[in-house]
Amino acid sequence: MTPRALLSSLGSGLLVVGLAATGVAAATTATAAPTATTTAASSARAADAQARIQLWAPDRVEAFSEGGRTYPPFGLRVIAPDSNVEVWSHRASFEDPIVSEVRTPTGTTRLPAGSMKDFTGIDGFIVLDVRKVGSSRKVVHRSLDACLAATGERARPDAPATSPYPRYCPYSPFTLGSVMGVQQGWAANVFESSGLRPLPIGPGTYVVESRVAKRYWSAFGLTAATATTSTRMNVVEAEGCQDCGRAGGHASEPGHLGRYGRPGARPTEKAGGSAAGAVPDLRSLPAFGIELNRKATTLRFSATVWNAGSSPLVIDGFRRRDAEVMDAYQYFFDTDGNQTGYQQVGTMEFHHANHNHWHFEDFARYDLLDANKKYVSKSRKQSFCLANTDAVDYTVPGADWQPENTDLATACGDEGALSIREVLASGSGDTYAQYRAGQAFKIGDLPNGVYYIRVEGNPERNLTESDTTNNVADRRIRIGGKGADRWVKAAPIGDIVEPPTFFRGVS
């Protein structure tokens, strides 16, 4: 069974999250996310089934110690021996816990409650014990989180040539859903994904025992015999080497070729064909990374607009003769990836100075509103180079788990470009930080009080999408203080711990 056939066979009743206009509440519609109801029968089947994963580590290794610290010189692998193994995770809103399920062709089993505090991996998935040979005393005992999407590589010659699964676990606290997967015959490097710290041991011979934590045995069909692997590690004193004993690199990731290709020929009409199939669905996350500059005269923030639709947003630009302007067209595709139509949706302009690439006009708008949500001012950031900077929800139907254009260099073109293609993949978002003059809000003459930062995708409604009622997210803030001591506080969103500002304002 192919990975996509597996996904489609694993049931309906899926959950997609849509942020309400407040940016805090969430509306629900149908999607492919985990539900909170997994039957006892499926859990029982999982316990009786053959092990869904295997741990692999070398039998013997030599490691180097320097200053009483030793790096294990091997990567612990999680292998999917007989079929694809997937972990689907989702939360219904920012206030709700993450629910995770293990999915294979034989069934679906929910992971224990609290298995993931965020989307960076399964909490405490691996238990690591180290003891000296001939001794039962543990000199190291650690619990490691594990991203099963990390650094995939083939584990045997007859394994499929490529893996369809994401190549990393999302780190944004505003992620709504994720998928981790190990392709049949492939392996994920758990030590590399967990950021394993050096072991506080010196020269000697040790046994390193790695095992899946017992609370996860049932979901992965493991027993005491199948959940553990061990390595005999001989540690010697390092003598001037660099990167002594660190785990080596991993296999290169094959088969990750561009999916959307290059733009075609310039259209001869403003529109052609039709949007007969799926279309994008642009949604906004609440503003975050909210702060004042040092002089307390401007309000900085970051914002994400993402695509929850089952089709990518594909925008091609075609340059006008002797001008730094391109006419922009949105393209539509059916479920097989065949183009069904297009329409002109605006323009792209080339931005000099710190940008030096092409921006699509009117993708998003940022406004500052007063306590009654009346307009106060707007950010002058109104043109964008689309890039898939954040994995927001990879459980939405049609999500692209391996988007190519994840940075500005991939899609935005240079001054000599004749045409370009910019893509916002299904399940991904594009994040910008507004900290430059004109992008951040000026507040020098603004009275203290309650305000809202509004993020709106597709503000002019030029782009075709499935739903325009979920394009807005508002974040409540309060400004106080005097002079250079003014401050800003943002209303909390669920249990999210916000990261530092994402400074992508140069794009």
| Any domain includes 256 | no
Domain boundary among the residues 190, 222, 237 is at: 237
Q: Where is pLDDT greater, at 15 or 434?
A: 434
Q: Are the beta carbons of 18 and 393 closer than 8 angstroms?
A: no
Are 229 and 286 within one domain?
A: no
| Any domain includes 92 | yes
Structure tokens at 236: 């010697």
| Any domain includes 258 | no
Share of the chain above pLDDT 70, in %: 76
| Any domain includes 94 | yes
Are 98 and 47 within one domain?
A: yes
| Any domain includes 124 | yes
pLDDT at 391: 95
Which domain covers residue 163, as residue numbers? 39-237
pLDDT at 258: 45
C-alpha separations of 318 from 248, 383, 405, 417 in Å: 45, 16, 19, 9
Are 228 and 319 within one domain?
A: no
* pLDDT bracket for residue 260 (50, 70, 90): low
Q: Is 179 helix (H, G, I), strand (E, B) or coil?
A: strand
pLDDT at 26: 32
Q: Are the beta carbons of 292 and 487 closer than 8 angstroms?
A: yes
Q: Are the beta carbons of 166 and 149 closer than 8 angstroms?
A: yes
* pLDDT bracket for residue 62 (50, 70, 90): very high
Q: Is 5 helix (H, G, I), strand (E, B) or coil?
A: helix
* pLDDT bracket for residue 407 (50, 70, 90): low
Are 406 and 334 within one domain?
A: yes
Residue-wise pLDDT for 163-174, tens only, equals 999 999 998 999
| Any domain includes 242 | no
* pLDDT bracket for residue 234 (50, 70, 90): very high
Strands 298-307 and 428-434: antiparallel
* pLDDT bracket for residue 498 (50, 70, 90): confident
DSSP β-bridge partners for residue 487: 480
pLDDT at 290: 94
Q: Which stretch of 35-39, 292-296, 498-502 has the lowest confidence by average pLDDT?
A: 35-39
Are 58 and 195 within one domain?
A: yes
Strands 487-490 and 472-480: antiparallel
Give the C-alpha separation, 309 to 291, whole Å. 31
Residue-wise pLDDT for 40-57, tens only, equals 334 434 443 478 999 999
pLDDT at 336: 82
Give the C-alpha separation, 118 to 310, whole Å. 24
Are 475 and 431 within one domain?
A: yes
Residue-wise pLDDT for 207-224, tens only, equals 999 999 999 999 999 999
Are 325 and 430 within one domain?
A: yes
Residue indicated by tokens 């014990």: 129
pLDDT at 191: 78
Are 184 and 322 within one domain?
A: no
The mean pLDDT value for 136-160 works out to 91
Are 218 and 281 within one domain?
A: no
E strands along 33-176, which residues? 54-56, 60-66, 69-70, 77-79, 85-90, 99-104, 107-110, 122-132, 138-146, 153-154
pLDDT at 261: 57
Are 297 and 417 within one domain?
A: yes
pLDDT at 16: 30
Strands 375-378 and 364-369: antiparallel
Are 165 and 58 within one domain?
A: yes
Closest CA to 279 of 427, 467, 469: 467
Tell me the average pLDDT of the chain.
81
* pLDDT bracket for residue 435 (50, 70, 90): low
pLDDT > 60? residue 6: no
DSSP β-bridge partners for residue 69: 66
The mean pLDDT value for 347-353 works out to 77
How many domains does one find in the chain? Answer: 2
pLDDT > 90? residue 202: yes
Residue indicated by tokens 């603004």: 446
| Any domain includes 197 | yes
**Residue 309 sits in a domain of what CATH number?**
2.60.40.2360
Are 115 and 214 within one domain?
A: yes
| Any domain includes 255 | no
Q: Is 88 helix (H, G, I), strand (E, B) or coil?
A: strand
pLDDT at 14: 30
* pLDDT bracket for residue 141 (50, 70, 90): very high
Give the C-alpha separation, 331 to 460, whole Å. 18
CB atoms within 10 A of CB 67: 10
Q: Are the beta carbons of 473 and 286 closer than 8 angstroms?
A: yes
How buried is residue 270: exposed, middle or buried, by Cβ count under 10 Å (0-12/13-18/19+)?
A: exposed
Q: Where is pLDDT greater, at 271 or 55?
A: 55
The mean pLDDT value for 293-305 works out to 92
Residue-wise pLDDT for 474-492, tens only, equals 999 999 999 999 999 999 9
pLDDT > 70? residue 273: no
Q: Where is pLDDT greater, at 68 or 275?
A: 68
Domain boundary among the residues 179, 211, 237 is at: 237
Q: Where is pLDDT greater, at 124 or 9?
A: 124
The mean pLDDT value for 20-44 works out to 39
pLDDT > 50? residue 419: yes
